[in-house]
Amino acid sequence: MTKDIIVKAVDVTKLYGPFTALDKVSLEIAKGEVCCIIGPSGSGKSTFLRCINQLEKMNSGAIWVNDELVGYRREGNNLHEINDADMARQRRRVGMVFQRFNLFPHMTALENVMEGPVQVLKEPVAEVRKRAEDILARVGLSDKISHYPSQLSGGQQQRVAIARAMCMRPDLILFDEPTSALDPELVSEVLDVMKDLAASGMTMIVVTHELGFARNVANTVAFMEAGKMVEIGPASEVLTSPKSPRTAEFIKAVHS
Amino acid sequence: MSTADVTSSTNDQKYEIAHLKLVPKRHIGRMIAAAIVLLILAAIVRAFSVGQIEWSYVRDFLFAPAILDGLKSTLIMTVAAMGLGIILGVVIAIMRVSGNPVLSSIAIGYVWIFRGAPALLQLMIWFNLALIFPTMGIPGLFEFRTVDIMTPFVAAMLGLGISQGAYTSEVVRSGLLSVDSGQYEAARAIGMTQFKMLRRIVLPQAMRVMVPPIGNEVIGMVKLTSLASVIQYSEILHNAQIIYFANTRVLELLLVACFWYLVVVTLLSIGQYYIERYFGRGSKSITASM
């Protein structure tokens, strides 16, 4: 495994009772790469994303982030689940942006962004405050830093959530349908921030229905359906001349 | 005059009333009801003023040292029993929601027993524990005579605190359940451990839901401490009783005790308002008034 592979997933399988949510999904993401995962609802895109930082436990398969096995430790021929503290330590390297923002409602925008670096990474408060203010300015929210989430629009909340992930200075940020819960006119302000982030070299995996964003920003596009990775390749190829007929059908349906 | 003209002129008159004054409906029923209630109230007040109450006794004993000492003991017992109740409540609630079947069954059993038995009965059991366990301790390490440690204070604190814990654990549990699952995920996603997630993210949000019912329970506890008079704990009701056994002014001294309970409960209600406001920060109802 080469040095600049950030995420490597091999045969990730997830079952919910008799239902197979993920069926041997594999993926490799290089440093600085932006990968969009597209596909119909219930295809397992979000579940796969959540396996990468172990918000979801897989039934079999393995995922490495930065060459470190995620969530398990090998002992002989078994993989043992790691303890709470080690799991927390691994998650510090991976940012996550949720569909429903999940900002902490009892904290201001600035406090939300500072919470991780101060409480988890134990960095000095003054230093973190400076960085958090810079990042909030970068996502265009300098004038909202002391607002509570309930005082912000959906688009603003999602930009705070992205700032919260950025302030941890992760190796990788996962986006779980970041614009799906937004009013249509607020989608572009969030996509612009993500575009800017991609341009700065952040490694990103984005589960999305925004094919325009995928076309303009992503290096790689993966199409999933019924828990399987149907097709994965360079964005231009997958979106314009897909190999699989199912991918072509999906793209056509989304565009019409 | 044609028919059309007649209709139009009556129509003009019909619409010329827009400037008239609007008189609200008279609520005769409400007035009668209010009058009856006020009459009853006046009768009750009169009964107390002409009844055989020596108001001078009420005045004289309001600040009597024995009453104020009793008040102090009532407050101490409230804090001690409620403190024990909250600690037990948090522990039992976390046991209940933990995935561990043994811990969660024990938590369910705890709530079943201590919420099921009357508080007064529990006080009496603790107080009389010496009857079945003359000594207590860890064999070979230390040992006490039960009557020495099971003082009225200790028995009351255990009885009230442990039964309170059963109620409070349900309040804490509903608080924990009220926090959105997305909050747990967001906390984990920034790398928090379980303990830090509870302390920094979950409990502060659960508090908003928990504070009003816990405030209620504190107020309930102030009054529940009067049960401890039965086991000779010298709280305010017990001291009032001792005085009226001597001077036979029963109702006067009960009113004195009642006055102090009302004072304490009023102060606590005001305090509860400010605590609720603190934990409600960031929520919609607060921001609307900002």
Are residues A186 and A81 part of one domain? yes
Are residues A192 and A68 part of one domain? yes
Question: Is B193 in the A-facing interface, judged by CB distances under 8 Å?
Answer: yes
Residue A145 to residue B26: CA distance in whole angstroms? 53
Strands A72-75 and B135-138: unpaired
CA dist list (Å): A219 to A32, A33, A40 = 9, 6, 20
Residue B191 to residue B205: CA distance in whole angstroms? 19
Number of domains in chain A: 2
Q: Is residue B272 part of a domain?
A: no
Contact residues for B21 (Cβ-Cβ < 8 A; gap 6+) = none
Are residues A252 and A149 part of one domain? no
State residue B139's pLDDT score: 81
Q: Is residue B224 part of a domain?
A: yes
Percent above pLDDT 70 for chain A: 98
- Residues B54 and B249: beta-carbon distance below 8 Å: yes
Are residues A181 and A82 part of one domain? yes
**Chain B residues whose beta carbon lies within 8 Å of the beta carbon of residue A94:** 189
pLDDT grade, residue B5 (50/70/90)?
low
State residue B286's pLDDT score: 44
Statement: residue A145 has pLDDT above 90:
yes
Statement: residue A1 has pLDDT above 50:
no
Report the CATH number that the domain containing residue B149 is assigned in CATH: 1.10.3720.10
pLDDT digits (tens, 9 = 90+) for B114-138: 999 999 999 999 999 888 888 888 8
pLDDT digits (tens, 9 = 90+) for B6-48: 555 566 777 888 888 898 888 899 999 999 999 999 999 999 8
Backbone φ and ψ for B206, nearest 5 degrees, come out as: -65, -30
Are residues A201 and A256 part of one domain? yes
In one letter, which amino acid is B47? A
**Chain A residues whose beta carbon lies within 8 Å of the beta carbon of residue B277:** none
pLDDT digits (tens, 9 = 90+) for B61-81: 999 999 999 999 999 999 999
DSSP string, B107-138: HHHHHHHHHHS-HHHHHHHHHTGGGT-SEEEE
Contact residues for B230 (Cβ-Cβ < 8 A; gap 6+) = B120, B123, B124
What are the structure tokens assigned to B148, written together?
């020495």
Q: Contact A120/B185, CB-based, under 8 Å?
A: no
Statement: residue A64 has pLDDT above 70:
yes
Q: Is residue B203 part of a domain?
A: yes
pLDDT grade, residue B289 (50/70/90)?
very low
Eight-class DSSP state of A201: T
Q: Contact A100/B284, CB-based, under 8 Å?
A: no
Are residues A115 and A7 part of one domain? no
- Residues A45 and A224: beta-carbon distance below 8 Å: yes
Element (H, E) at A214: helix A211-217
Are residues A2 and A85 part of one domain? yes
In one letter, which amino acid is A228? K
- The parent domain of residue B209 ranges over 76-228
Count CB atoms within 10 A of the CB of residue B195: 11
Q: Is residue B195 part of a domain?
A: yes
Eight-class DSSP state of B25: P
Q: Which residues pair with A174 in a beta bridge?
A: A96, A205
- Of B185, B208, B282, which has the smallest distance from its Cβ to A98's Cβ? B185
State residue B9's pLDDT score: 58
Q: Contact A148/B191, CB-based, under 8 Å?
A: no
